């Protein structure tokens, strides 16, 4: 955003920030109540900024860690972008339209072994999930501003190249609330980091985060790891780097890191069809993308976009195209994974599988 426009919008940001500050004060002082008594631990993952900070792969990392320690977790999301309402528990019948693309990705990632639910009211959702006999913990996806629930452990994410401490509240910036909201975090994770981020830069980022977060709160650093392309349908062999030219199709908030990875890995991206986050693709749009996919070319997309590309209305267009998605996982820099496991240890309650 141009600096003059930021200055013009700052008064509106101050007004919005004031409203959010009063709301947070009401919760912090107990004048508005938060649910906090649950049969098992509730872990929240969220951010201060609108847009992608890597919540989905970090939620998946937490769930895998809980599973590895004998815990039986579930995932609860609002289900942003779905065309349904109320509580829904994931099943093979769900689509991105009925369930939301990110929750559906979680359901598919864990093959149904981890309960995944969506509900606008997180209190209702938590009660229904904890009523399931196999659920011993719940990870809340994108719930940092959902103050009606007081989690046992709160993870705040911020991107290395778009840190919250350099941003402003909407509409002058992209923050959902003021930077002071970082004080609610039990850990801050700086995401999408350069793999070679040096100690001096990490210390500087940590210092600036601690201007707003509590001084004792750990600051960790993570980066993305990209796996080999996976065919969206069928068993076609994925192209190798330096091989056929590819068309990139995305409907996510921050496609830049993926594009940079593909370029650095040796893939030749000849066209990038970039849509807004959570975009519902139409058959006409897929046909337009297909027009760039000449002989020998294939289409790459993200795993989140893949859930929407499998919509029944797109089946005819997608079935005839060589489409591959790129799985993403999280890796921590230095001893970040060990430190996070240590922070999570009080919330590990091994259970017998029901």
Q: Which two tokens stand for residue 274?
A: 């970039």
Q: Which residues pair with 140 in a beta bridge?
A: 44, 76
173 in a known ligand binding site: no
**Annotated binding residue 84:** no
Is 243 known to sit in a ligand binding site? Answer: no
284: tokens are 């006409």
Q: Where are the alpha helices (DSSP H) in the chain?
A: 3-28, 55-68, 96-99, 101-109, 122-130, 199-209, 256-264, 283-290, 303-309, 315-319, 336-344
82 is in an annotated binding site: no
Q: Could you please report the per-residue DSSP string of 296-318? A: T-EEEEEHHHHHHHT-GGGHHHH
DSSP string covering 25-45: HHHHTTSS--B---SS-EEEE
Length of the chain, please? 354
Q: Alpha-carbon distance 229 to 48, whole Å?
A: 31
Alpha-carbon span 121 to 148, nearest angstrom: 9
Say whether 135 counts as a known binding-site residue.
no
Cα–Cα distance for residue pair 155/43, rounded to 1 Å = 8
Q: Is 51 annotated as a binding residue?
A: yes
Residue 109: closest CA among 267, 284, 230, 243? 230
353 in a labelled binding site: no
207 assigned to a ligand binding site: no
> d(Cα 56, Cα 304) in Å, to the nearest integer?
9
Give binding residues for ATP as ranges: 49-56
Give binding residues as ranges: 49-56
């Amino acid at each position: 955003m141009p600096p003059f426009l930021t200055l013009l919008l700052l008064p509106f940001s101050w007004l919005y920030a004031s409203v959010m500050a009063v709301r947070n004060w009401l919760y912090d002082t107990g004048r508005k109540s938060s649910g906090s008594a649950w049969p098992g631990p509730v872990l929240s993952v969220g951010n201060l900024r609108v847009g992608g900070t890597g919540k989905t792969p970090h939620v998946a990392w937490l769930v895998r860690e809980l599973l590895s320690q004998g815990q039986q977790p579930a995932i609860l999301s609002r289900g942003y972008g779905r065309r349904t309402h109320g509580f829904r528990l994931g099943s093979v019948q769900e689509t991105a339209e009925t369930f939301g693309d990110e929750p559906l990705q979680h359901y598919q990632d864990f093959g149904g072994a981890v309960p995944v639910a969506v509900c606008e009211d997180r209190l209702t959702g938590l009660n229904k999930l904890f009523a399931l006999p196999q659920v011993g913990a719940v990870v809340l996806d994108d719930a940092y501003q959902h103050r009606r629930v007081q989690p046992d452990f709160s993870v705040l994410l911020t991107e290395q190249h778009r840190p919250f401490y350099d941003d402003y509240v909407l509409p002058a910036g992209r923050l959902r609330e003021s930077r002071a909201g970082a004080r609610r975090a039990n850990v801050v994770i700086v995401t999408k980091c350069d793999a070679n981020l040096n100690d001096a830069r990490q210390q500087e980022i940590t210092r600036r985060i601690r201007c707003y977060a509590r001084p004792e709160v750990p600051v960790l650093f993570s980066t993305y790891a990209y796996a080999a392309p996976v065919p969206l349908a069928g068993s076609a062999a994925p192209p190798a780097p330096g091989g056929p030219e590819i068309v990139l199709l995305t409907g996510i908030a921050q496609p830049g890191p993926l594009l940079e990875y593909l370029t650095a890995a040796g893939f030749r991206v000849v066209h990038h069809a970039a849509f807004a986050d959570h975009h519902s693709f139409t058959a006409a749009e897929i046909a337009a993308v297909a027009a760039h996919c000449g002989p020998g070319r294939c289409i790459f997309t993200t795993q989140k976009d893949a859930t929407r590309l499998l919509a029944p209305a797109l089946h005819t267009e997608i079935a005839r195209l060589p489409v591959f998605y790129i799985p993403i996982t999280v890796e921590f820099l230095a001893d970040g994974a060990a430190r996070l496991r240590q922070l999570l240890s009080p919330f590990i309650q091994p259970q017998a599988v029901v």
